[in-house]
Copies of this chain bind each other. A is one copy, B any other.
């Protein structure tokens, strides 16, 4: 339940935040800013920007940036918070339907680079998704 999620992250439960979360929960794919805007209905843009910022800070949502200037957002799984914001999953963007999905991998690739201390790896894939293929 959305109110619980907000409480868990120690921020206040407000109608606007609940509304934004409901838009996220309604879909299986990641949302662009304009997806969100049209999902919300009437809204004040400043409040939306601030809500997104808060959700990102608190580890409630994460950003997905893909080649082609595609920028989306998706709910984090349990466990993310202000300090820990790590996702061991892949982001797939479908060139056909333009949807972006978070996909868990059976095995997350390990990469070692001499001299570099790799703290986190993100994988972005493009192609044709299950639904479109």
The answer to whether the Cβ of A37 comes within 8 Å of any Cβ in the partner chain is no
The distance in angstroms between the C-alpha atoms of A66 and B66, with both chains bound, is: 8
Look across to chain B and name the residue whose beta carbon is closest to the beta carbon of A68.
Answer: B63
Q: Which of A100-128 contact B (CB under 8 A)?
A: 103, 105, 109, 111, 113, 115-128
Identify A111's interface contact among B115, B117, B121, B125, CB under 8 A.
Answer: B125
Chain A interface residue count, Cβ-Cβ cutoff 8 angstroms: 34
Residues of B within 8 A of A35 (CB): none
Whether B116 pairs with A129 at a CB distance below 8 angstroms is yes
A positions within 8 Å CB-CB of B: 62-63, 65-71, 90, 92, 95, 103, 105, 109, 111, 113, 115-130, 133
